[in-house]
Every structure is written in structure tokens, then in C-alpha cells.
Structure 1
Amino acid sequence: MSRQLAEKTRRRAIIRRNSRGGRSAAENLIAAARCVYRQAEEDGYIQPDSNPARRVAKPRRLASTRRAISNRQLSEIVQVAATTGNDPELDSLLLRIHIETACRRCGVLALRPMDLDSQQCLIFLREKGGTVRWQPVTPTRMKALTNHVAERHRGTVDQGSPLLRRRNGAPVTRRHYDSLWNRIGRELEWVARQQISAHWLRHTTLTWVERNFGYAVARAYAGHCNPDGRTGETVTYIKASLEEVAEALAALTGEPHPLAG
């Protein structure tokens, strides 16, 4: 394990449109090596002062190029999804869920029929790091989700099975997202050039929420509820409620929510 190996990995990284000189490849190599050597330490094969991975610094992570997009751009994306492809109803539903909840792709893919609280218009999201939360959605979106289950789950609904389905009944996968954004990119050149994805919708919604309802509500809206070393202990005292998140959603969509005041 050496700096030379990390540099060699950086130089040999595959060059893509969004490449940053192989920094991520070097970072991933060092992270993997540290994990292996840490396990070796814990199992007693090496001593901490003999661990070469400890002496190699990870490259400083650059700021993300993702950002909020304009209302016009968002409208163009939604319009393309709703008017192209072989399942515009599903694609529109996917995008609307992301816009309303600011959730990650994994959160949508993990949805199950049992995760719908129709009475309070809430969905249960499971996202990275094992985080979970109830997230408000509009009554319109909740109706669309319940209709989707009724129409696309064949026979008796398995409450623990994937909620979102294609017309043939197959669950939606990550590849469906790839196909969707590739199609949008073919229709909107700027989407392909900037490599817009569903995560940009998260940036867009959370930016709007922060500007209009403040940091605490935006943090709760995003599911970032627990303080860590990057945010400080003040976050503990300014945690927003589920009702405040619902109020932000109602303002964002212009549609009343059962939990909003």
C-alpha cells in the first residue's frame, strides 16, 4: 500500500464526462485498503503502528457539481417524462415522488404497499445508512400511489413486496431510472450535457424549502435529523416537526395536506 499505488490508480481511471482526474478512484482504493488493513488489525495479524494504510491520506473530496435547477428546467423534464417512452404514467409518478419528497432513488425503490399511510398522506422511506422516516406527500400523489398498487399488483397484494411496478408487473429497478434519464437527455440536450439525474431533484426541492422555511425544516425534509461533527450540537435544539415538513410541502405544491396547519 503506497502513495504511488494511489497515484497509479488515479492516472488509470476511466475518463468520463464528469471525471475529476481520477480522484474518486484513488479515494476508493485508499478506503478499501484501509478497510482491509483495519480488519487485519482487529484480527491481530498486524499492529497499528505497522499499518501502512494509516500513513496515506485520502484525496480531499471536491464539492459536488449538483445544484438546484430552475422552474423552467424542471417543467421541461416533467413534460418529457409525461409525453415520451412506453410508460409515461410510471415515469411521471417517479419524478413527482422525488420532487415532493426530495428522497433518494433508493428510497423510492424500497417503497412497499405497507409503507402508505393514506389517511395522513405519508410514505415510509428507507434510505442509505439504514435511515428511515415518514415523509408527507400530497393527497394527489397518495391517490396515484394507491391506484398504482390496485392496477399493477396482480392478484392479492403482497404488502411487503416492491410497490412501484412496470406494466408487466415487474418491479422498477435502477436500470429503469437509467433508461428514463437517458431518454430525457435525448430530448433535452442540457440534461445530457450536465448529467442531470434524480438526485438533482433532491437538490432543487431542498433548496426551495431552505430558502422559504429555513435550515431546520430543510434538514428534516431531507431526512438529516441527527447532528454530527459537521453540523454541531445546535441542530439538536432546532429539529423541525413532521407538521412543519407538511406545511412546506403544501406551500411547494399549492395543495393542502392533512398535517399542515
Structure 2
Amino acid sequence: MAADPARIAQAWTLLAELGVTLADLQHDAQPARPTFDAYLPQVLAAAGPGALRTYRSYWQRMATTWAGWAIDTVTASDIQALRQQITDHAHVRRNSRDGRHAGELFVAAARAFYNRAIADGLIQATDSPAHRVGKPRRLPSTRRALTADELTEINLAARTSGNDTILDALLLRLHTETACRRGGALGLRLQDLDATRGLVLLREKGGTVRWQPITLDLAAGLTQHAAVRGAVQPADALLRYLNGKALTSRRYDHLWHRIGQHLPWVTAHGISTHWLRHTTLTWVERHFGYGIARAYAGHTDTTGPATTTYIKADLQAVAAALAAMTGQSHPLAQPGDRRPGGNQPDGRHAARPES
């Protein structure tokens, strides 16, 4: 049955007199949205380990600040105001940038929160207030490649201080040879070590998994370390404390704090494990080119110029770069593999680990 135009006109007139719009009627017909504190457990349960590690504190701050508020009642101005509070009160570290990084992470966390609400059908994508707040522009990193002398000093300080110099020496060498992140090292299991072929299986951010070449000397050291400290089952953690417990990220914090006590310039520049990754990849890129450096780093993203689709390197090329960098042969490196131009490493480059 067709609607009566006269009655429709009367209805619109009545709505206008009442000051009610069609959007008001549609909004009222929708179920009530959950509050921030009520919805937070659902967001946490759906988040991956990386997101939890990065965003959890910001999500909790949102739930505390806006406890009892429905998620669709917060405005872009509310998010901007909380971002400013977080920026102003960010913890001051050696490499602080006046809270810019904290502000950037908060906006990213708010967007991730609302992305979950959008995926759950609680709000429309166009209604997200977090996506109407801009993130601070990221400033260039002050991180650089370490020099050969700096790397030597760091290794020496680690091996002559502390309560577990063997573990610390293995950590520094592992990160220098593989350019892996802390998460990749902490995730290593006994079954991830192929000592015969000189490989470790790294699982890092973004769910990436790759075999990474290491020297046979390091492979032997890791094998002995695991055996002495109680790694028996294939799924047992490879890196362990003296008491046999699996290594945690706290060891890295203590390691760099101790090195900084012996080498004040380490503390002054805010040097961390990631500087080793930067150092190794810089050396590989300078001597073997972008494609092999990209494979060495485990980068699998497709962002950037279209030519990155065709710039690829295989495991043998990465092994050849490792062999040139360390001066030790590798089972997977082809005998004819050399650096461009045929030059061999000079023995004083920044990435070579101490033996």
C-alpha cells in the first residue's frame, strides 16, 4: 500500500514543530553503545601481543578518564585534550622529544580502539572521533650506526662486568650477526636453532617468520648455552638465565644500564639493542645493496616505490653478506659470492662482533 503524501507532509510538519530530525529518530532507534570501561575487556581480548604491549596503557587511560561514557559520546576535542595531557606529562627519557612520541602513540591507540568498535558494528567508520584527530609528525630518529671502536667498547664492557657475561656476550653477538629485534631473540626455541647449517628461525613483529644465517661459532655457542642451562624439549626457550629460567626483556634493560655505567656516552646517546640492528643493516646496505639489506632485516612489506616488488634476495645472499661481515665462511654462502667490486671487509667495520 502506497503511503499517503498528505499524511507524510503532516508528519514532517509535526516533527519540525517538535524540533526532531530524522537523524534523531534513527539514533534513538539504535541500541545504547557500551561505555569505555565496559568495552575495554573486549578490545583487550581481540588485540595481538604487539598491540597490547604498545597500546594497553593508553586504552586503560581512556577507560579511566571516560569511565561511564558511551563510546559514541566522546568528541574529537575530548581526544585532542587527553592527547595534550599525555604529551605534557610524558615520562622524560634520554631520547625524549617533548612527549611527541607519547602523543603519537595515544592517537594510534585511540584509532585502534575505534577500529575495533567499527568492526563490531557499534559505530560507523565516519563517526570515529579518533580518526578526526591528527597524529604529531614523527621526527627523524637520532639513531645511527655504531663505529667499530664503539662496538668494541660495548662488547668489552659487557664481557667484563655483570653476573652473567656469557649470556650478555651471546646476546650482543646474536643481535649483531642477525640484526634481529629483542622480540625475535626472546622468542627463540631450541628447535629454532639449526647449528649444522648456521641458521636460527626468527619470529618477529607483524607475524613474520624467517630463517636467518648465523656463524657456526655462534651456533655452537648457542647450542652449548642451551644444553648447560636446561633447554631439553624442542619448544624450550633457547636463551636462559643462570638459574635455567627463560630470558625476559628485563635482561636487556639491566645490560644497557650496566654498560652505560661503564661507558657514559652510551647513556648520553640512549644506545639500545636496536642500535645494533641499525649498525648491521647499515653495513650490509653499504656493501651489498638495498635488496640484500632488506632481506637481512626481514622486511616483507610492499610499501614504498613499486620497484621494491622486484628487489629481492635469497637466503644464500644473506649468508654471503654475513660471511663477509664476520670474516667467517658460512655453509649456505656460495664460493663465488663477493661484495660488489670484489672488495673484502677491512676488519674494522662497525658490525663485526667480537669473538
- TM range, smaller chain: over 0.9
Figure out how many residues of one structure are paired with residues of the other and give that number.
257
Q: CA RMSD in A?
A: 1.4
Other-structure match for 1:120: 197
Q: Tell me the TM-score normalized by structure 1.
A: 0.94
Other-structure match for 1:59: 136
Q: 1:41·1:47 contact (CA, 8 Å) conserved in 2?
A: yes
Q: 1:227·1:235 contact (CA, 8 Å) conserved in 2?
A: no
| 1:73-115 residue CA offsets vs partner (Å, 9 max, x unmatched) | 0000011111111111111011000111111111111111101
Other-structure match for 1:153: 230
Q: 1:108·1:125 contact (CA, 8 Å) conserved in 2?
A: yes
Separation in 2 of the partners of 1:114 and 1:159?
A: 5
Computing the radius of gyration over CA atoms, which structure comes out larger, 1 or 2? 2
Q: Which amino acid aligns with 1:124?
A: L
Separation in 1 of the partners of 2:278 and 2:193?
A: 24
Match of 1:256 among 316, 329, 332: 329
Report the 3-state secondary structure (helix = DSSP H, G, I; strand = E; otherwise coil) of the residue aligned with 1:9: helix
Higher relative contact order (CA 8 A, sep 6+): 1
Q: CA deviation at 1:160?
A: 0.1
Separation in 1 of the partners of 2:86 and 2:253?
A: 27
Hey, which bits of structure 1, 4+ residues long, moved more than 6 A?
A: none
Other-structure match for 1:228: 302
Separation in 2 of the partners of 1:236 and 1:47?
A: 35
Of the structure 1 ranges 45-54 and 121-130, higher mean CA displacement relative to structure 2 is found in 45-54
Other-structure match for 1:37: 114
Q: Tell me the TM-score normalized by structure 2.
A: 0.70
Q: CA deviation at 1:20?
A: 0.7
Q: CA deviation at 1:14?
A: 2.3
Match of 1:139 among 203, 216, 234: 216
Other-structure match for 1:86: 163
Of the structure 1 ranges 83-92 and 21-30, higher mean CA displacement relative to structure 2 is found in 21-30
Q: 1:93·1:144 contact (CA, 8 Å) conserved in 2?
A: yes
Q: 1:30·1:56 contact (CA, 8 Å) conserved in 2?
A: yes
User: Compared with structure 1, are the counterparts of its residues 40 and 166 closer, same or farther at alpha carbon in structure 2 (3 Å cutoff)?
Assistant: closer
Other-structure match for 2:243: 168
Report the 3-state secondary structure (helix = DSSP H, G, I; strand = E; otherwise coil) of the residue aligned with 2:239: coil
Separation in 2 of the partners of 1:111 and 1:48?
A: 39
Question: Unpaired runs of 5+ in structure 1?
Answer: none
| 1:103-161 residue CA offsets vs partner (Å, 9 max, x unmatched) | 1111111111101112211110111111110000001001101111221116xx01101
Asked if 1:46 corresponds to 2:123, the answer is yes
